[in-house]
Amino acid sequence: MQIEERLQQGISAHRGGDLGAALNAYKDVLAEDPDHADGLHFLGLLHFDAGHADNAIALIQASLEKNPRNFSAWNNLGNILKLSGNKDEALKAYLRAVEIEVRHEEAWNNISMMLQEASNNDELLPMLREVVRLDPDNHSGWHNFGLSLMLAGQREEAADAFERCLQFPPDVWNDKGWHPRVLCALGRPDVATRHMEMLAATFPDDPVISYQLAAIRGEDLSLAPVDYVRDHFDSFSESFDQVLNGLGYQAPKLVAEEVAELASGRDVPFAHVADLGCGTGLCGPLIRDHSARLTGIDLSPGMLRKAAALKVYDFLVEGELVEFLSSDLPARFDLAVCVDTLCYLGDLKAFMQALQSALAPGGVLVASVEHLDSPDGPDYRVDTTGRYAHRPEYLKRCAEAAGLVYAREKRDILRRELGKDVQGLVFHIRKPDASQT
Question: Quick one: pLDDT at residue 172?
Answer: 86
Question: Quick one: pLDDT at residue 116?
Answer: 65
What does the angle CA 413 – CA 418 – CA 424 come to, to the nearest 5 degrees?
A: 20
Could you tell me which CATH number the domain at 242-436 has? 3.40.50.150
User: Which of 378, 382, 404 lies closest to 391 in space, CA to CA?
Assistant: 378
Q: Give the residues across from 44 on adjacent strands.
A: none
Question: Quick one: pLDDT at residue 21?
Answer: 95
Question: Quick one: pLDDT at residue 240?
Answer: 38
376's CB contacts (< 8 A; 6+ apart) are none
Other C-beta atoms closer than 10 Å to the C-beta of 321 total 24
Do 389 and 381 form a contact (C-beta atoms < 8 A)? Answer: yes
Integer angstrom CA distances of residue 53 from 18, 22, 25? 19, 17, 20
Question: Quick one: pLDDT at residue 204?
Answer: 92
For the whole model, what pTM was predicted? Answer: 0.59
Do 65 and 41 form a contact (C-beta atoms < 8 A)? Answer: no
Could you tell me which CATH number the domain at 3-131 has? 1.25.40.10
What are the per-10-residue average pLDDT scores of the chain (437 residues)? Answer: 89 93 94 95 95 95 96 95 91 88 82 73 82 86 85 89 95 86 88 94 87 78 61 48 54 95 92 94 95 94 91 95 92 95 89 96 96 84 79 95 95 78 92 73
